[in-house]
Amino acid sequence: MAIFSLKISPEEPVYIIGVVCKLVNIPIWTLRQLDKAGVVRPKRIGKKNRLYSLRDLKRLGYIHYLMEKKHVNIHGVKIILEREG
């Protein structure tokens, strides 16, 4: 049995929306709205397929915190993220 290590760049888009939904506990429809609002911009493969990077997942984790714990809506999240740079 061979054991190997896989190195993936944090910017490399490899996670599909269904997996991201489960990893960050954000519904798919909300992920689509975040994309539409420009809060998170996953890479597009074709017209419909979105691929997220590890960096996107970390950002979405923070977004989930803002939305669930601080009760900030998508527009508010966008403003907060823009101000934080």
Q: CATH no. for residue 76?
A: 1.10.1660.10
Angle between the N-to-C axes of helices 54-68 and 74-84, in degrees from 0 to 180, rounded to the nearest 10: 120
**What was the pLDDT predicted at 48?**
83
Within a domain: 45: yes
Provide CB contacts within 8 A for 44, sequence distance 6+. 50, 51
Within a domain: 74: yes
Number of domains into which the chain is organized: 1
CB-neighbour burial class of residue 17 (10 A; exposed 0-12, middle 13-18, buried 19+): middle
**What was the pLDDT predicted at 5?**
85
pLDDT mean by block of 10 residues, the chain; 85 residues: 82 97 97 96 92 97 98 97 92
**What was the pLDDT predicted at 47?**
84
- Quote the pTM value: 0.88
Within a domain: 67: yes
Within a domain: 3: no
**What was the pLDDT predicted at 1?**
63
